[in-house]
Amino acid sequence: MSHAFVRYESFFGRLFSGLMPIGKFQATYLKRFRNEQQLDKAEFNLLEQLSGDVDSFTSDQRLLGQKPDFHLDAAELRENIRSAADRSAALKT
């Protein structure tokens, strides 16, 4: 597992522990992932999939109602991030 990927796991932990609001997580994650260059293929694939989920997050109830199959609310995004974190643990073995 790359050092860069370990930083993502720590980043996830800050969200789960309540140290980072989900809106700040979204902005920071998207910026970080766009500039990432140190991931192996499996790490990249996992984080790329998650980037789509992060990009689909909105707190705008109107958007959530208009396109519920595309947009994610905070609970759905947290669930998807938790799933990615769980899958990342499998990459360690």
Q: What is the pLDDT of residue 3?
A: 77
Give the global pTM: 0.86
**For 57, which DSSP code?**
B
DSSP-assigned states of every residue in the chain: --HHHHHHHHHHHHHHTTSS-HHHHHHHHHHHHHT-----HHHHHHHHHHHHHHHHB---HHHHHH-TTT-B-HHHHHHHHHHHHHHHHHHT-
Taking only the tens place, the pLDDT of each residue in 1-24 is: 677 788 888 899 999 999 999 999
**Assigned CATH for 3-91:** 1.20.120
Break the chain into its structural domains and give their ranges: 3-91
**pLDDT computed for residue 72 by the predictor:** 96
What pLDDT does residue 93 have?
58
Per-chain mean pLDDT for the chain:
91
Tokens of 83: 């799933």
